[in-house]
Homo-oligomer: A and B are copies of this chain.
């Protein structure tokens, strides 16, 4: 569904938020292990996300990644778009530039509602709501974010 970078980014962000809820600021080594992603690649990705303003980080002892609690919840759509670009889930299912309700490609009628559902899904789910969803029965199952 998503490319690798997006996958790692989403899993990383959700893991950070899960730990933040416990008052912890995880670092790259911990994050990469828990989300089952390559160490250095995870580092690069998390750093890009900080530069893009999705979350904060601190260097040095007791450093790590964390969310600014004053900010609104972060829809995963924002992350996906920042990584994969504007085109995501807006194009024609058949790859035609000109395809709409007036001049539909043969797949349009069937694909349009699917595309809408995907858009709803990535708009309505946030890093925070997903992190909360991992707490089934009040406790986070270990290793759940591993691929």
A contact set with B: CB distance below 8 Å: 1-2, 7, 10-11, 14, 91, 93-97, 105-107, 110-111, 113-114, 117-118, 121, 125, 129-130, 133-134, 144-147
9 of the cross-chain contacts (CB-CB < 8 Å) are A1-B91, A93-B121, A95-B147, A96-B145, A106-B125, A106-B129, A110-B125, A111-B121, A114-B114
- Whether A133 lies near B106 (C-beta < 8 A) is yes
CB <8 Å contact, A7 and B95: yes
Copies of this chain present:
2
Closest beta carbon of chain B to A44's beta carbon, Å: 18
Q: B121 contacts A110, CB within 8 Å?
A: yes
Compute how far the CA of A91 lies from the CA of B7 in the bound complex, rounded to whole angstroms. 12
In the complex, what distance in Å separates the CA atom of A118 from the CA atom of B115?
10
Main secondary structure of the interface of A (DSSP, over half): loop
| From A96, A106, A147, residue with most partner B Cβ within 10 Å | A106
Complex contact B145–A11 (CB within 8 A): no
Greatest chain B CB density within 10 A among A94, A113, A117 is at A94
In the assembled complex, the Cα of A129 lies from the Cα of B106 at a distance in Å of 9
CA distance A114 to B121 in the complex (A): 10
Query: Known contacts A11-B94, A105-B144, A117-B117; can you find 10 more A-B pairs with CB under 8 A?
Result: A1-B95, A1-B111, A2-B95, A7-B95, A10-B94, A11-B95, A96-B146, A96-B147, A106-B130, A114-B117
